[in-house]
């Protein structure tokens, strides 16, 4: 009896549900925005009212927004609540303290693109490729870039403790960094390398970058410079208009520099040189590496596309997207990637994190350079091909591929193992290095540039690292000998005489620079340089 009484009710209930479902098929449910918004509201209401534990309704909406942004798979898009945005605006426009690291979301972690030269993070030993594991005890593995940056910034003189993951090191490395006001010159120095070749390092793109570059070049030309090495290795980028302005110095009026393309046609824009080439007869090599990003890639791509310069080094980072800020109800702000950058030849600068191109040597183990940077030699196989203005083959697919692959001095597997042991000491190694350099300079008042360290000097430094459980094994220290000596020389020169001296002291280690000088010595014009580079049989075989 009960069964027969309930049956009609169940049938009616099922029919009502089924009827609603069938009616909905007339309009694609996925495209019915009203239904989707209503469902979201219902889910929030149900969870807020009925979940076993009390949940704040605002947090549910925030979680939904964060999930939406995260699902885009774009590390540069984010949602900023009004309070966070106002704090960010004040810190950005005013004086603030930081740790001097350029960071980006990559591989699920906030990752260091490049330590800002001279900044506290770099001095403590944090390197490009390191990933944030914790920031002041807060887990960073779920953070987006903006969240990490906010925690890293603070009052100058205050400290922040971070734990970093480093490829090849099993446990996180701890660093305690004192925040400083980050103010840098875009061009810290410029020098003549010989009677004809000049060298200008460009560290960042800030308001005065183009002015500083031009002043440096004009000064070197007054000393007799005929050809130029422009170094953007480790340059994390910066202001777009300065990337365009620096490119404009070397291109003919009307030549394209960079193009932005977005789904909204209002985001589509082409930037071109507005002035004649300021140095039309000057051959030019641009040095690039895996940490050259953003505006650095705009310059490298534009000069390569127009055959104005030869690029030497490694494939660049691949940060080529444009972010727009949208004010929302209540003062919240949405930062959204709305366009991507393309070179004049049509190559996308932006590297999809999921892209995987073939390594130059399938059997080669990843190794560290003498500077301590992990080397990942990526070739051109599988990349789309383009043509330069002169008909040379260029490669797209994200990042800017150099004309000539030249890799830094690379450590052996045994040496790399020793270096990894040093890395595990975190900031302790860098602090010991700094302290030793200061003492060494004080004890050697007649020290001159080009000095050589003795085995006794290296042994003294080892003793300064201290004893105890964390003492570095003598075998590991010996294995890392070339790395240790390089950084001892660098630190002593920097502390004694500054950036230019540090560069001069270590110039003999710089294979990329040596190749650039070799090319320029055989070229009297930009056209000659292209011919010299072509005759050198430029291909994807690594010079390591």
With helix as H, strand as E and coil as C, how does 170-207 read? Answer: CCCEEEEEECEECCCCCCCCCEECCCCEEEEECCCECC
Residues 266 and 209 reside in one and the same domain: yes
Q: Which two tokens stand for residue 460?
A: 């003294």
- 429 and 125 in contact (C-beta within 8 Å)? yes
Read off the pTM. 0.76
Catalytic entry in 114, 204, 294, 388: 294
Catalytic entry in 105, 248, 289, 305: 305
> Residue 207, CB half-sphere, CA atoms under 13 Å: how many?
1
The reply to whether 319 belongs to the active site is yes
Residues 44 and 131 reside in one and the same domain: no
Q: Which of residues 130, 147, 181 is at a domain's end?
A: 181
Per-residue pLDDT, 6: 37
Per-residue pLDDT, 358: 56
Per-residue pLDDT, 75: 80
**Residue 224, in any domain of the structure:** yes
**Residue 238, in any domain of the structure:** yes
Contacts of 249 (CB under 8 A, 6+ apart): 210, 213, 214, 217, 277, 278, 279
Per-residue pLDDT, 389: 95
Per-residue pLDDT, 385: 96
> Residue 428, CB half-sphere, CA atoms under 13 Å: how many?
16
CA distances from residue 439 to 122, 445, 491 in whole angstroms, order as listed? 21, 11, 11
Residues 367 and 504 reside in one and the same domain: no
Each of the 544 residues of the chain gets a pLDDT tens digit; together they read 444 443 333 333 333 333 333 334 444 555 577 787 888 888 888 888 988 888 888 888 888 888 999 898 888 888 888 767 765 554 444 456 889 887 877 767 898 877 876 789 988 888 877 899 999 999 998 888 878 988 998 888 999 999 999 877 888 999 999 999 877 688 999 999 999 999 999 998 888 899 999 999 999 999 999 999 999 999 988 888 999 999 999 999 999 999 999 998 888 999 999 999 999 999 999 999 999 999 999 999 999 999 999 999 999 999 998 888 888 888 888 989 999 999 999 999 998 766 666 555 555 566 889 998 888 777 788 899 999 999 999 999 999 999 999 999 999 989 988 888 888 776 678 778 878 888 899 899 999 999 999 999 999 999 888 776 667 788 889 999 999 999 999 989 988 888 899 999 999 999 999 999 999 999 999 999 999 998 775 443 444 4
**Residue 107, in any domain of the structure:** yes
Helix 455-464 to helix 481-497 angle (10° resolution) is 90
Residues 203 and 319 reside in one and the same domain: yes
**Residue 206, in any domain of the structure:** yes
**Residue 249, in any domain of the structure:** yes
CA distance 42 to 272: 51
Burial readout 423-458 (b: 16 or more C-beta within 10 A, e: otherwise): bbbbbbbbbbbbebbeebbeeeeeeeeeeeeeeebe
Question: Which run of H or E residues covers position 147?
Answer: helix 145-152
Residues 260 and 138 reside in one and the same domain: no
Contacts 24+ apart (CB under 8 A), 208-214: 209/238, 209/239, 209/242, 209/245, 209/246, 210/242, 210/245, 210/246, 210/248, 210/249, 212/185, 212/186, 212/187, 213/186, 213/187, 213/246, 213/249, 214/249, 214/278
**Residue 174, in any domain of the structure:** yes
The parent domain of residue 162 ranges over 78-181
The reply to whether 294 belongs to the active site is yes
CA distance 345 to 339: 17
Return the residue matching tokens 């490119």: 247
Residues 94 and 229 reside in one and the same domain: no
Task: Report DSSP state, residue 142.
Answer: T
Sign of the CA dihedral 246, 237, 101, 284? negative
**Residue 393, in any domain of the structure:** yes
Task: Report DSSP state, residue 281.
Answer: T
Residues 304 and 379 reside in one and the same domain: yes
Residues 204 and 143 reside in one and the same domain: no
Residues 134 and 228 reside in one and the same domain: no
How many domains in the chain? 4
Compute the C-alpha angle 414/415/418, nearest 5°: 90
Per-residue pLDDT, 335: 87
Per-residue pLDDT, 16: 35
CATH of the domain at 529: 3.90.226.10
Catalytic entry in 209, 247, 307, 319: 319
**Residue 235, in any domain of the structure:** yes
Residues 222 and 312 reside in one and the same domain: yes
Task: Report DSSP state, residue 449.
Answer: T
Residues 398 and 313 reside in one and the same domain: yes
């Amino acid at each position: 009896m009960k069964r027969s009484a309930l049956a009609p009710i169940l049938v009616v209930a099922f029919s009502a549900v089924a009827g609603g479902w069938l009616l909905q098929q007339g309009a694609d449910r996925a495209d019915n925005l009203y239904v989707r918004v209503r469902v979201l509201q219902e889910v929030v209401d149900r969870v807020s009212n009925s979940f076993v534990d009390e949940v704040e309704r605002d947090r549910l909406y925030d979680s939904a927004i964060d999930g939406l942004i995260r699902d885009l798979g774009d590390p540069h898009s984010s949602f900023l609540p009004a309070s966070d945005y106002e704090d960010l605006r004040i810190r950005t426009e005013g004086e603030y303290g930081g740790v001097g690291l350029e960071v980006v979301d990559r591989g699920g972690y906030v990752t260091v693109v490049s330590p800002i030269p001279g900044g506290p993070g770099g001095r403590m030993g944090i390197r490009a490729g390191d990933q944030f594991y914790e920031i002041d005890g807060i887990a960073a593995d779920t953070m987006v870039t903006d969240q990490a940056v906010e925690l890293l910034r603070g009052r100058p003189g205050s400290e922040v403790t971070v734990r970093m993951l480093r490829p090849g090191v099993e446990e996180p490395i701890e660093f305690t960094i004192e925040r400083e006001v980050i103010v840098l010159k875009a061009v810290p120095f410029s020098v003549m390398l010989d009677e004809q070749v000049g060298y200008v390092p460009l560290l960042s793109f800030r308001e005065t970058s183009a002015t500083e570059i031009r002043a440096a070049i004009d000064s070197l030309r007054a000393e007799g410079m005929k050809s130029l090495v422009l170094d953007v290795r480790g340059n994390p980028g910066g202001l777009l208009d300065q990337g365009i302005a620096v490119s404009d110095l070397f291109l003919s009026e009307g030549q394209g520099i960079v193009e932005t393309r977005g789904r909204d046609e209002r985001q589509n824009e082409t930037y071109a040189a507005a002035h004649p080439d300021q140095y039309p007869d000057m051959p030019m090599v641009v040095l690039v590496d895996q940490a050259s990003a953003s505006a650095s890639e705009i310059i490298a791509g534009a000069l390569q596309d127009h055959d104005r310069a030869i690029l030497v080094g490694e494939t660049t980072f691949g940060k080529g997207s444009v972010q727009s800020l949208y004010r929302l109800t209540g003062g919240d702000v949405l930062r959204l990637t709305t366009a991507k950058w393309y070179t004049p030849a049509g190559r996308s600068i932006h590297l999809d994190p999921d892209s995987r191109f073939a390594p130059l040597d399938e059997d080669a183990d990843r190794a560290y350079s003498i500077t301590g940077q992990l080397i990942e030699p990526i070739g051109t196989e599988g990349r789309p091909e383009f043509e330069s203005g002169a008909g040379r083959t260029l490669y797209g697919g994200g990042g800017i591929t150099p004309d000539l692959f030249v890799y830094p001095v690379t450590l052996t597997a045994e040496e790399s193992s020793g270096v990894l042991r040093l890395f595990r000491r975190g900031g302790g190694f860098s602090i010991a290095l700094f302290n030793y350099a200061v003492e060494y300079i004080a004890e050697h008042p007649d020290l001159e540039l080009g000095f050589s360290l003795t085995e006794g000097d290296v042994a003294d430094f080892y003793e300064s690292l201290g004893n105890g459980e964390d003492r570095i094994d003598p075998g590991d220290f010996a294995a890392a000998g070339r790395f240790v000596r390089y950084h001892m020389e660098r630190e002593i020169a920097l502390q004694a005489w500054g950036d230019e001296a540090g560069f001069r002291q270590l110039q003999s280690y710089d294979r990329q620079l040596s190749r650039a000088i070799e090319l320029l010595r055989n070229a009297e014009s930009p056209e000659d340089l292209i011919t010299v580079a072509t005759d050198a049989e430029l291909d994807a075989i690594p010079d390591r």
